Structure 1
């Protein structure tokens, strides 16, 4: 009788090295190259020198190789990662199955972060940072030149906090959660305050406000900021989140994984997009009319910032939620009117809805914040989501986020260059 595990019809069957090589169409030694790159896992044969391979994994790699060799570029060839964190569907998005805009309307940023990390709500939780960690991070940030941007400061603060934590290499769930609850407030505390009189206590949004503007915060303004943080916690596999998962797949500690995300978020097509919308909004406010400003952008061949999103055919639900709250801020009325003028004017050229960057720009422009404030809000908020994805990735097979290159250069052997 045949061994069930070697039977092709058995769901848990394992393949020998020779069988795996034949299925992949490669030499046996190349099979082990797939193992070293984290694309296949192997098990030693008890009492033997060979290894066996999971048939489903081998078949998945073989299918991917066939797609790449056929030059497929459709949606089926894009990277897909299983996740339980965020679902984006039909102009709505959900955190662990719960409507994200409803969560942000009813719960603080810290409570939403806990929901992402653990699937449990902890009403009233606030994150606090150890004094030693904050002191190290502040010294490192203080050494940066004055023109350093917010992401520069956050990245340096994350590295300094990591250096101050000798247990950062502990990737157990409880240890990573402990790191998360202290890293985020450390990042905020390391940012230089705009207001001289401020308190590093209370909800994170209150502490962050003093790092963004010198104006006093009223209840409505703090509510908008806290909701913005909650809405921006995660957004599926955005570019920075993918970078975090790649780092976590290589078992980088959470500080390093967050640093990877901060390295990507600074791009103008990602976290820095709200700064472009902020400047556009100020121009419209200065001109008193969006038409000449939009005309100049179109004449220069530039994309209008703050409009449209590739994942939402309609209005970005994050923008919709923030605009509703911004209507409760009297000082936001001029910027809100300018934002609506931008949307209406651009609609004559192409029908695009407002995205979250334009809503953030209304908040920052009407609260005496700099153009880079939206980037700071975005990065601080998204840190919680990055840690959620890192936690998820730590539970997966190591190095699985290592794709193979589709080499299209000259075929070897080529002569040595002169």
Structure 2
């Protein structure tokens, strides 16, 4: 008896399909068949069936891997911009922590992320006035910073220079102007040639060199963090050929979600609630007994704690050792770590800085967005220069259409 070919029933059983599906594979040329020994039936290649099973299993594995990649999983895009390691993250091979420690500004980091070389796109002085459409937005105090900035950027794109220029220098000049404009919009100010951290602190009307230094460090640490949700959204928009203004709007819109930038607001609310408690330890224990998730703690990519949050909180504690407000915040951090073993992340640190200076959650989120804008622009530039469109496929798991005979 020949064993290299199988009967229809044996072939369908090995494939785990119906006879109709087996015949469909044959008609598509995926399985060879020949006349059976009785002259009436057909036999089907065992080798073709085994190869089909292998390809199907490999395909399922690829689909599962792709699905896992979209949730803190396997890498899906190549980039030269940033790298994340358990002990910290790097901008084009340079430690972000080291840059913050060295006194680098957000502008310095932007030049590095954008691979500017000897060219300084920030040498161009921005205009000191806004168009009337933008000024009218700034005169409405009820519009939050993120929403105001998202509304303004498409209007600024209408008259922006070098919007669709292919020249690398023009594109980086365009990015530098956009970074300054965005920072000004986020804090309700006019574009300014001063370093962005100074612009933001001055607008908050807080004369404190310590705060200026904290904001500088925070902007540097926030500048990029690989393919987070907002950076990926920016790359998708940029891959279509959209202008930088429009591409970073996708990043801003994504940042506004409660599972991204909203984490900063939740951390700020948590700190404020706990600061008003006479017995924070008991309140914290009560929250944990209920199973409440404490915001601003832990990070999936840093098992030993988020080094960005640790650095900012260390600097915050060293700069204001006599502040009663800060002592309560530091005490809260100790309580959290003692009772649940988790360490504060970047979101918590930004909220703690804002709380220490009696700033609201919008100020903390403005720092995050202004810093991350440098990274969004880096991803947009890299994606556009690659010339490729991001268009993944979906794995359909819904109701299948009815076949019409």
Specify the TM-score bucket, using the shorter chain as the normaliser: 0.7 to 0.9
The gaps in structure 1 that reach 5 residues or longer are: 1-24, 29-60
Q: Which residue of 2 aligns with 1:118?
A: 115
- Residue 223 of structure 1, aligned match among 213, 218, 240: 213
CA distance in 1, matches of 2:58, 2:166: 31
CA distance in 1, matches of 2:200, 2:64: 51
**Please, which moves more after superposition, 233-242 or 150-159?**
150-159
Cα distance change of structure 1 residues 301 and 395 upon mapping to structure 2, 3 Å threshold? same
Contact 1:294–1:304, Cα closer than 8 Å, also in 2: no
Cα distance change of structure 1 residues 272 and 126 upon mapping to structure 2, 3 Å threshold? farther
CA distance in 2, matches of 1:297, 1:290: 10
Q: Which residue of 2 aligns with 1:204?
A: 196
SS at structure 1 position matched to 2:296: coil
Can you list the C-alpha shifts for 1:94-121, whole angstroms capped at 9, x where unaligned?
1111111111222111111111111648
**In the TM superposition, what is the alpha-carbon distance from 1:321 to its structure 2 partner?**
1.6
Cα distance change of structure 1 residues 136 and 229 upon mapping to structure 2, 3 Å threshold? farther
**In the TM superposition, what is the alpha-carbon distance from 1:175 to its structure 2 partner?**
2.3
- Residue 239 of structure 2, aligned match among 225, 233, 249: 249
Q: Which residue of 1 aligns with 2:35?
A: none
Cα distance change of structure 1 residues 92 and 72 upon mapping to structure 2, 3 Å threshold? closer
Q: Which residue of 2 aligns with 1:22?
A: none
Q: Which residue of 2 aligns with 1:396?
A: 386
**In the TM superposition, what is the alpha-carbon distance from 1:64 to its structure 2 partner?**
8.2
Cα distance change of structure 1 residues 72 and 167 upon mapping to structure 2, 3 Å threshold? closer
Q: Which residue of 1 aligns with 2:144?
A: 149
Cα distance change of structure 1 residues 326 and 69 upon mapping to structure 2, 3 Å threshold? closer
- Residue 337 of structure 1, aligned match among 327, 334, 339: 327
**In the TM superposition, what is the alpha-carbon distance from 1:269 to its structure 2 partner?**
2.1
CA distance in 1, matches of 2:235, 2:78: 12
CA distance in 1, matches of 2:280, 2:366: 26
**In the TM superposition, what is the alpha-carbon distance from 1:411 to its structure 2 partner?**
1.3
Contact 1:127–1:204, Cα closer than 8 Å, also in 2: no
Contact 1:130–1:182, Cα closer than 8 Å, also in 2: no
**Please, which moves more after superposition, 292-301 or 162-171?**
292-301
**In the TM superposition, what is the alpha-carbon distance from 1:237 to its structure 2 partner?**
0.6
Matched, 1:413 2:402: yes
SS at structure 1 position matched to 2:89: strand
SS at structure 1 position matched to 2:276: helix
User: RMSD of the TM alignment (CA)?
Assistant: 3.3
Q: TM-score, normalised by structure 2?
A: 0.76
Can you list the C-alpha shifts for 1:291-336, whole angstroms capped at 9, x where unaligned?
2442454466432112111110012111122122212432784344
**In the TM superposition, what is the alpha-carbon distance from 1:171 to its structure 2 partner?**
4.4
The gaps in structure 2 that reach 5 residues or longer are: 1-24, 29-54
Q: TM-score, normalised by structure 1?
A: 0.74
CA distance in 1, matches of 2:326, 2:349: 8
Matched, 1:108 2:105: yes
Contact 1:283–1:293, Cα closer than 8 Å, also in 2: no
**In the TM superposition, what is the alpha-carbon distance from 1:398 to its structure 2 partner?**
2.1
